[in-house]
Amino acid sequence: MSDQQPSIGHVVWTDLTVPDADGLKDFYAEVVGLKCEPLDMGGYADYMMQASGEGPAAPGGVGICHARGSNAHLPPQWMIYFGVADLDASLEAVDRLGGKRIGDVRTMGNDRYCAIQDPAGAVCSLYQKQTA
């Protein structure tokens, strides 16, 4: 993800987690025109998808990831990550308002995020960028 501070409430990242990221990246490369940059995940590669010569395909970035390890529980759908000011407070609101957490809070560097499901069944992730 980008080193820039995300705006609260904005989409800061988009991922697709599937069993065969290697094959699906080629689908999106040909259908949409995205370029693939492998990202070493320790024994396999996930992919950062780039717009044709113009950087990330969406604010923050777009990834196509394998449904392995800590991503095994994620549904095979495009997952958007919303920037939040306080992940713990947002997760408390999810619980209180009839949503549910999908998996545990995870970290990327110092940043924290968690997938959630809203009361209607839609899935997204909440992402808190830690300031230095």
pLDDT at position 74, please?
A: 85
Q: Which CATH superfamily is domain 11-128 in?
A: 2,3-Dihydroxybiphenyl 1,2-Dioxygenase, domain 1 (3.10.180.10)
Asked if pLDDT for residue 55 goes beyond 70, the answer is no
pTM for the model stands at 0.82
Q: What is the pLDDT of residues 57-93, one digit of tens each?
A: 666 788 999 999 888 888 888 999 999 999 999 999 9
Residue extents of the structural domains in the chain = 11-128
- What average pLDDT does the segment 8-35 reach? 89
User: Tell me, what's the pLDDT at 123?
Assistant: 93
What are the pLDDT digits (tens) for 93-106?
999 999 999 999 99
Residue with the bigger pLDDT between 116 and 10: it is: 116
Residue type, 107: T
